[in-house]
Amino acid sequence: MKAERLVEMANQIADYFRAEPDRQEAIVSAAHHLRRYWDPRMRKQIIAHYEASGEGLNEIARAAVGRLAGGDE
């Protein structure tokens, strides 16, 4: 899938959780959402994008995908 589309979707998810007062909780929640609702190929591709450059990912999304990449979800 196009990385731009996945980035856009991940950023939307991160934007929702950004309202959490606790930044770490926002990151964990965003990562958990990606884990529960994204097909493995989508997660694999967003992780690959993150590991390549992560271009376009906002702060929360980048950290959330980082958690996926690190196997924390």
Partner 1 sequence: MYAIDYRDRGTPPSTSSTLVTVDIDGRSVTVPAGTSIMRAASLVDLDVPKLCATDSLEHFGSCRLCLVEVEGRRGYPASCTTPVADGMKVRTTSDKLMQLRRGMIELYVSDHPLDCVSCPSNGHCELQDMADQHGVTDTRYGLDGANHQHAEVDASNPYFRFDPSLCIVCSRCVRACDEVQGTFALTIQGRGFGSLVSASQNESFLASECVSCGQCVEACPTAALVEKSVIETGPAESAAITTCAYCGVGCSFKAEMRGEDVVRMVPNRDGHANHGHACVKGRFAFGYATHSERVLSPMVRDAITDPWRETSWEEAIGFAATRFRALQEKYGRDSIGGITSSRCTNEETFLVMKLVRAAFGTNNVDTCARVCHSPTGYGLKSTLGESAGTQAFDSVMKSDAIIVVGANPTEGHPVFASRMKQRLREGAKLIVIDPRTIALVRTPHIEADVHLQLRPGTNVAVVNALAHVVVTEGLAKDDYIAERCEVDSYRTWATFIADPKNSPEATEAITGVPASLVRKAARIFAEAGNGSIYYGLGVTEHSQGSTMVMGIANLAMATGNLGREGVGVNPLRGQNNVQGACDMGSFPHEFSGYRHVSDDAVRGVFESHWGVPLQSEPGLRIPNMFDAALEGSFMGLYVQGEDIAQSDPNTSHVVAALSAMECIVVQDLFLNETSKYAHVFLPGSSFLEKDGTFTNAERRISRVRKVMEPKAGLADWEVTVKLANALGYPMDYAHPSEIMDEIAALTPTFTGVTFDKIDRLGSIQWPCNAEAPEGTPTMHVGTFVRGKGKFLLTEYLPTTERTSSRFPLILTTGRILSQYNVGAQTRRTANVVWHSEDVLEIHPSDAEARGINSGDWVGVTSRVGGTLLHAVVTDRVQPGVVYTTFHFPESGANVVTTENSDWATNCPEYKVTAVQAVLVPKPEEWRKHHPMVLQVHDSALSGQGVGV
Footprint of partner 1 (CB under 8 A): 1-2, 5, 9, 12-13, 15-16, 18-21, 33, 36-42
Dihedral sign, Cα of residue 34, residue 64, residue 5, residue 52: negative
In the bound state with partner 1, the residue whose beta carbon lies nearer, of 15 and 54, is 15
Q: Which two tokens stand for residue 9?
A: 């979707």
Dmax of the chain from CA atoms?
33
Q: Least distance in Å: CB of 66 to partner 1?
A: 19
CB of 46 to partner 1, least distance (A): 12
**Cα–Cα distance, 39 to 22 (Å, whole number):** 27
**Shortest distance, position 21 Cβ to partner 1, whole Å:** 7
